[in-house]
Structure 1
Amino acid sequence: MPLALLALALGAFAIGTTEFVIMGLLPDVAADLGVSVPTAGYLISAYALGVVVGAPLLTALSTRVPRKTVLLLFMGLFLAGNLATVLAPSYGAVFASRVLAGLPHGAFLGVGSLVAAQMAGPGRQATAVSRVLLGLTVANIVGVPVGTFLGQAMGWRAAFLVVSGIALLATLGVAAFVPRQPAAPGAGLRQELSELGRPQVVLGLTTAVFGFAGVFAVYSYVSPMMTELAGMSASSVPVVLALFGVGMTLGSLVVGPLADRALRPTIYGSLAALAIVLALFTVTVHNPWTAAVSLVVLGAVGFGVCTPLQVLVMNRAGAAPTMAAASNHSAFNLANAGGAWLGGVGISAGLGYTSPAAIGALLAVVGLGIAVLAGFLDRPRAGGAREGAGAESPSFSTAP
């Protein structure tokens, strides 16, 4: 992996770690701050709020700034947010620091994806984007378990201190290895917002919300599902989560080249596979071995949705793809919140711990339906050409 892509992936690794590590540290956070565990859980929502708001806001403020400068500013803000978490003296201060840390999440990954795609050139753009997002998947294998261990052994703030150190290394890596890329000519805020309203961009973002919500309907409740249904011990749950991360990584490695060859078919295939795996999970979750294997596959097909949708919205945003690329990560965070909520609705309604998987399968089917509709509406424009990332001659690869 080129050093520039490695630096961007390291930034994604830090982002993925800080987003998910707090889930395993909620009891420690609650005890230290003197609040209940459910109240501490609102800190997860605080970060998601930062992501949803920050992606379009920071992108809007930086459309005419050179992309390397933007990446450095965003990672610097992320670093500041995590350091603020380490130093925050009260629950309110920690809440505010989590919002601050979440603000640059989508904006950094969106601009980083554009930079990676431009460096790769036509025919390799999806692969380059998947290598950047690989940092998010590796975070679930290494960053989250290690951060959880350190937080439990040395105090929960230690985990965010480590994240701050990784963010500093990523900032130095971007400064040293990412080439300068001026902002796209004419890509002002008005044009970015106009392109964001394109039907294909809107349909792509909507596909992300519904399709990926199916993954989080299960992931949010994987711990009680493994202990109550699969019969695993609580100590096995971190291993299961790591297996999910392994699946995400495998999916990231495979889906990039596939999307370069056939973008829309990769989206269709990933969503269809996701629906099937989630439906089968209602059965396989009752055995520890089949449940573990299913989680690996779920991670692989679930993350298979991310990269091609990221490339699709960038392709379809014309000459101003930055807002669309960042907003895609807002869409995935809405999927996170919505999937968790709908999965909880099923459990609260007395449908049992298999209900999140059934609900997730339905959400994936809805996402597939939206994707197919978008492809059908796009057929006259495509003119019968192969719908691959390179075949579309995406405008984001031509910026200076």
Structure 2
Amino acid sequence: MKIVRKKIGGFILTTISTGRLRLLTADFVLISFMLGCNEFMIVGNLSLIANSFHESLAQIAWLVSAFAWTYALLTPLITMATARFDRFKLLLTLLGVFLVGTVISCWAPSFNWLLLARILTASVAGLLESLLLVIAYDLAPNQASGSQIVAWIYTGFGIASVAGVPLGTFIAAHWHWQAAFYLVTAVTAVVAVATVFLVPHHLPGTPGSIKAQLKLFGDRQIWLGIGFVTFGAATLYGYYTYIRPLLQDTLGFSVTALTIILAVLGILDVLSSILSGRLAAKNGMRRLIPVYILQISCLALFAPLMRSQLGGLTVLLLMGFLIPLFSAPAQVFFLNRANQAHPAAVTLASSLNAIFYNVGIAIASLSAAQTLEHFGLPALGWNAEFYCLLATGCLLLLVRQLKPPAA
């Protein structure tokens, strides 16, 4: 497993053999799945945790909101503070902190200890995700390969976002809610050992002060990308927040059928992520324009299609495939833009996708709740349509500013 270092444009770039890169990609996909599961598995077990600690469900809900706010607020701060650190050592340190937080979750004797564990893991989860993407993208031999690896890593997150809740519920139903964290602990330990052998041990960080990194936020293209990601995520969670009642209450599917449909949505997410990587390698942002035109059309028909099982299921499955297509092109855009114009802020730029995806979730979930209260479940399509139109506007403005591909 040969390691090669080459100097390009004043920077030392490291490349590894194809076989080792494939193993490293598998390791990073597993880490991304683990990160997603740690975030989502707890959602299906809030009632059990409330009973375990004799707390109200409203109090226990802080475990979810505290994780999200910690993730969103601390990720950029920690990312800027650690940008100069060796990426291999930083990756192992973050995995160690994440492991400690997960172990505390397993053995937490009270609600406050579990809340502390959630805050601890959330504080490193965002930077862990960013490092996976930056390291994998930099080690890839070319942009096409790097884009595909980025898409595979997002596949791990995507599967976890779909499967995390039912997986955590299944584990709790057969054992207890702590067993879900036992699983994450075991996976964390395994991937940490694998990371030691697969990731090159000398991956210097990016030199540059915090002031130099903050210049990233003076870039109009970066802000258009942030708007696109925020509203792109909001498009999904404008209706997906209530996917279960949509399938059961509106379309009348049974619990068994619900499980199957959610599994199909997980498979569609994987296929979408693979295609997303291919789009990213071939001028991905421009290629997303017809995708968003199709999404706008689907969401305009959302309410009338929800009147029948076949129509409703068709639009949900189609949107489940179309929406995740933006993930890899957006991530590659942030990485490329930072490398071209803000080399000191590459790691910070790589975190923007995850940070503002969570912002989009928070915004859309809030408006979805208001839409549901005043207009009912089928009207959630209009909630998502609003965000889809905003995302499309950001995309069109951004594409106008991007340089056309070389002939």
TM-score (norm 1): 0.89
CA deviation map 1:118-151 (0-9, x unaligned): 1113332211211111211232465543332111
Rate the CA distance shift 1:229–1:261 in 2: closer, same or farther, 3 A.
same
Cα distance in 2 for partners of 1:185, 1:44 equals 33
Q: CA contact under 8 A between 2:25 and 2:136: conserved in structure 1? A: yes
CA deviation map 1:236-291 (0-9, x unaligned): 43333322222211110111012211222133344333333333333333434444
Cα distance in 2 for partners of 1:272, 1:71 equals 39
Cα distance in 1 for partners of 2:296, 2:100 equals 39
Q: CA contact under 8 A between 2:283 and 2:405: conserved in structure 1? A: no
Cα distance in 2 for partners of 1:162, 1:65 equals 30
Cα distance in 2 for partners of 1:255, 1:271 equals 13
Cα distance in 2 for partners of 1:5, 1:75 equals 16
Cα distance in 2 for partners of 1:134, 1:296 equals 17
Report the CA distance between 1:185 and its aligned residue: 4.6
Letter of the 1:241 partner, please give it.
L
Q: How many percent of aligned residue pairs carry the same amino acid?
A: 24
Alignment-derived partner of residue 85 in structure 2: 65
1:300-379 alignment runs, 5 A limit: 300-317=321-338, 318-319=342-343, 320-348=345-373, 350-376=374-400, 378-379=401-402
Cα distance in 2 for partners of 1:261, 1:135 equals 22
Match of 2:55 among 35, 39, 51: 35
Larger Rg: 2
Q: CA contact under 8 A between 1:147 and 1:162: conserved in structure 2? A: no
Letter of the 2:269 partner, please give it.
M
Q: CA contact under 8 A between 2:224 and 2:395: conserved in structure 1? A: yes
Q: CA contact under 8 A between 1:55 and 1:327: conserved in structure 2? A: no
Report the CA distance between 1:117 and its aligned residue: 1.0
**RMSD across aligned positions (CA):** 2.1
Letter of the 2:347 partner, please give it.
T
Letter of the 2:159 partner, please give it.
V
Bigger Cα displacement from structure 2, 185-194 vs 247-256: 185-194
1:1-400 alignment runs, 5 A limit: 2-124=22-144, 125-140=146-161, 143-317=164-338, 318-319=342-343, 320-348=345-373, 350-376=374-400, 378-379=401-402, 382=403, 384-386=404-406
SS of the residue 1:321 aligns to? helix
Bigger Cα displacement from structure 2, 271-280 vs 152-161: 271-280
Rate the CA distance shift 1:296–1:38 in 2: closer, same or farther, 3 A.
farther
CA deviation map 1:142-199 (0-9, x unaligned): 5543332111221111111111211222212221112235334523432222224322
Rate the CA distance shift 1:360–1:109 in 2: closer, same or farther, 3 A.
same
CA deviation map 1:293-331 (0-9, x unaligned): 433322222211111111111111231311011122110
Unaligned 5+ runs, structure 2? 1-20
Report the CA distance between 1:66 and its aligned residue: 1.4
CA deviation map 1:31-53 (0-9, x unaligned): 22223334333322121112102
Runs in 1 of length 4+ with deviation above 4 angstroms?
140-144
Cα distance in 2 for partners of 1:159, 1:55 equals 25
SS of the residue 1:261 aligns to? coil
SS of the residue 1:385 aligns to? coil
Cα distance in 1 for partners of 2:188, 2:326 equals 26
TM-score (norm 2): 0.87
Alignment-derived partner of residue 15 in structure 2: none
Q: CA contact under 8 A between 2:43 and 2:165: conserved in structure 1? A: no
Alignment-derived partner of residue 398 in structure 1: none
SS of the residue 1:182 aligns to? coil
CA deviation map 1:334-363 (0-9, x unaligned): 111111111001112x20112222111110
Bigger Cα displacement from structure 2, 351-360 vs 284-293: 284-293
Cα distance in 2 for partners of 1:68, 1:107 equals 13
Cα distance in 2 for partners of 1:61, 1:174 equals 23
Letter of the 1:34 partner, please give it.
H
Cα distance in 2 for partners of 1:233, 1:35 equals 31
Alignment-derived partner of residue 16 in structure 2: none
Letter of the 1:239 partner, please give it.
I
